[in-house]
Structures are given as structure tokens and as C-alpha cells.
Structure 1
Amino acid sequence: MSRVVLVTGGNRGIGLAIAQAFVALGDRVAITARNGQLPAELEGTDVLVVQADVTDTASIDAAFDRIEAELGPVEVVVANAGVTRDGLIMRMSDDDVNAVIDTNLVGSLRVARRAAKGMVRLRRGRIVFVSSVVGLLGSAGQTNYAASKAGLVGLARSLARELGSRGITANVVAPGFVDTEMTAVLGEDRKTEILGSVPLGRYASTDEIAGVVTFLAGDAAGYITGAVVPVDGGLGMGH
């Protein structure tokens, strides 16, 4: 039977690929987007797009209310929405810190908190957090981003212990460098430097990230919880 799946930040990049993968599986998919617009890649599908801001609890509650009313109880949640505000620590403003932590970490907690209410009633559910290899390795100039993504590991593992008895799993996917709009703007020297540190010698595709997410949400991963799954071409191995 098809499930109700919510992907935050599902209008572009990794989130869009994840939404498309669940659509291909026959699931009923909802995405959040700050602009509330369905991306062209999802036109012609039954994907429900909901305008929502993960930094606003009321906005998240309203999004879930609408999804539950139109599609049914949410059974799978992928917390993907995130932002970056890079810079050296000595020049990083409070706004840069707060925006990234509030969106990437606290925003994911808000989404999981609201999702858990319905999943506990269903006595089943899958929560997947999209983190980053940066949260495991660290990255100069990304202290705020790395801290936010590392925090998702503690969040997922705490939820795994808290909700496991209700048939709910919580896991983390940690992508490495992915072929998206964000990496496309990098200079050639930086691209060469990055690829030189990746054992597989290439970027990941968004579909490769989506494949791991759908696996963790599927029947074959029913006994996996509290796990961190790297999809990074070997960049962060051992962490």
C-alpha cells in the first residue's frame, strides 16, 4: 500500500530527487517549500506542495494539518530543508549562526516532533534526517553548518531510543559532495581539490542520495534505527 511521505525542502536539489523517488514508488508525497510553488519537475504528478517554514512551529503545524486532511497520516518524514551561511568563525555574525542552527537542526527537530505525534498513534513510522559528511569531518569556514549537521546525529539517536518501542525508526543520511546547483558554482581549482579527496573521484548524483533515503524508509530497513549512513564516495570513511 502507498504511504504518505513528507519531504521538507523538496522543491530543489536533493529534496526534489527524494520526492521524485517516492513518487516513483507509488507513495503519496507532500513537499514543503517556502514559496509554496510546485517545481516544474513535479508537474503532472499528484505531489502536494505546502508553503511552510521550518523555523516557525505554527507553520509546521499548519503544514501537517493540511497534509493529514488531504492525504492522511504522515508515515514517512524526510527532514531535508537546510541553509548555509559560510564564513570564518571570527567574522561569523550571530545572525549567521542562529539562521543555520535554527533551520538545519532546530527546524528538523520541529518537524520530527510534529511527525512523532501521528506516528505514535499509528504505531509505525520512518524519520530520516539529511545531514552531511561535514557534520562528521568538520569543515573550515562552516562551523555553524557542521555543528547543525552533527547535531542531527544526536537527535536521530535519541529519537531512536525514545520512539523505537512504537515501531518508529530514526536514521541519518550523510551525503558528501553532490552534483547540485550549490557545487556547480564552485571554481575549477576548488572542484579539483574536492575530487582529489574523494576515493571514488566524482560527485554523488542526487538520485544516489535519494536511493539511500528510500531504502531507509522501506521494508528492508525495518531493523535499522539510530544509524548514520554515509553517501560520500569514501570521503568520510572511519567517522
Structure 2
Amino acid sequence: MSEPRVAVVTGAAGGIGRAVVRRLLRAGLHVVATDHAEASLRELEGLRADAPRLGLEVMDVTDVESIRRVAAGVDAAFHRVDVLVTCAGVFQQMSALKDDAAAVERVLRINLTGTLHTTTHFGAIMARTGGRIVHVSSISGLTGAALAAPYAASKAGMVALTQSHARELAGHGISVNAVLPGYVDTPMAAPMRATLEKFVMPRVPLRRFAQPDEVAEVIEFLATCKTPYLTGAAIPIDGGLHVG
């Protein structure tokens, strides 16, 4: 019997990340779930009762040494990475007219630079056998976002990373795609929920938030589909918001 494929998920303690972990486990993959928040990550321990193929690793995507350490551990344990899903991300509102260098740097380091470094180290392992990479961007990477320009810029950068990685890594048998969620019912959206329901949901054709598992379903497809010809795509999952 062949060994199960190995998936690495960053930001696994978040709403979308948890849903992705559950789906990939059900699909039969061995999942290494990573997050910088150890206490939240440990909440996934309960999944081990039904899914012993779950590993938990504390990893900070803003710390290259942390990424390198976890990548080396995965390589030593499994000698392969078949799937990488980069869910790690952060949202912060800020005015375009207010200078908050620390906040801008934090958003860019987690969302954009962290994705780049994560792909570099786990992609090097994946290049031996091929695989699938899925970056979790945002529809704001296409549309922009008032009062969240650094966030939107970081997510637009992730789309460019996806396209660049797709071009460069195709020769290694690696497909790279991105999903662009709109407004998802996660803890990240909770502080803004009332405002979003009043001003944004009327512009969403489906008139509701996405559920994390709806986003995870598309990610699972991209991570496990057999055709390598689907690559370089940026797929909106926003209830039709992007069509206006």
C-alpha cells in the first residue's frame, strides 16, 4: 500500500485553515498543521481521535528560521511534501492618511513575505516529486479595499506570487493556484460583522457570508485534483461580489 500524500497547512488554527485541515484529513492525506498560536493550534488535537495522520507544528511565517526548522522536520519525517496550503494571514484596518509603519510592516510580513518564504522552503521539498500549492489570497487583491490598503496590497501581491510561482515551478511538476475569498464567517470578520452586514452584504449577489468549509471545498479540489494543467489561476469565492 502506498504511503499517504503529505500536506502542509499554514494558519491552520484560523477559520479557513481548520476547515482545510479537516477536509484534507478526510481525503486521506497526512496533514502537518502549522500556526504561530500554539494554544489555538492545540485545539486541533481533538481531530486526532478520528485522524491519526495529523501533525501539529508551531511555526511563525514571519520567522525564516522557524519555517526552515519545520520544513526540515517534515522532510526528515516524510521525505516529501505533496500539498502546501498557505492560509496564514492577518487583517488590519488603517487609513491611507495615517502613517503606521509598524502595522503596515506586520501585514506585509505575514501575508506576503511569509507566503513567499513558506513556498521557498516547502516548495524545495515538493520539487522532487511534484505537487500542488494553494495560496489563500482575498478578493480585495483584485478590487482593493478602502481603509485596508496594506491588506489589499499584500493580497494582490499573493496573486502575483501565484502567477510567478506557476510559471517557474511548472517544470518541477508543481501546480500553483490561489483562492480569493470574499467575506467569510470567521473570527477575523467578527469585529466588522455588523458594518459588513449593513453596507457590504447588499452588494453580494448571494446576500450572505461564505462559510469556511465552502472556501475549504475549493481548496481541497485544487490540492487534490489530478490534472496539472490547472495552474496560475486566481479563483474568486465571494458570492459574486467581484462581478459588481
Is this a same-fold pair by TM over 0.5? yes
* Alpha carbons 1:28, 1:71 under 8 Å: kept: no
Aligned residues: 237
| Larger mean Cα displacement after TM superposition, 62-71 or 73-82 | 62-71
Structure 2 distance, partners of 1:49, 1:111, is 16
* Alpha carbons 2:19, 2:216 under 8 Å: kept: yes
For 2:67, the aligned partner's letter is I
The aligned residue for residue 218 of structure 2 is 212
Give secondary structure in 1 for the equivalent of 2:161.
Answer: helix
Deviation of 1:193 (Å)? 1.5
Structure 2 distance, partners of 1:187, 1:11, is 20
Alignment identity in percent?
Answer: 39
Unaligned runs of 5+ in 1: none
* CA RMSD, Structure 1 to Structure 2 (Å): 1.6
Structure 2 distance, partners of 1:92, 1:74, is 40
State yes or no: 1:116 paired with 2:123. yes
The aligned residue for residue 39 of structure 1 is 43
Deviations 1:96-151 (A, max 9, x none): 111111110010000111122112222x1111100001111111110000000000
CA 84–67 in structure 1, closer or farther in 2 if over 3 Å, else same: same
Deviation of 1:33 (Å)? 1.4
State yes or no: 1:169 paired with 2:175. yes
Unaligned runs of 5+ in 2: none
Structure 2 distance, partners of 1:178, 1:43, is 26
**TM-score, structure 2 length as denominator?**
0.92
Structure 1 distance, partners of 2:139, 2:230, is 20
For 2:243, the aligned partner's letter is M
* Alpha carbons 2:179, 2:237 under 8 Å: kept: yes
Structure 1 distance, partners of 2:107, 2:195, is 27
Deviation of 1:70 (Å)? 3.0
Deviations 1:45-96 (A, max 9, x none): 3311111110111100101112223344111000110112211012141111
The aligned residue for residue 141 of structure 2 is 135
Structure 2 distance, partners of 1:234, 1:57, is 37
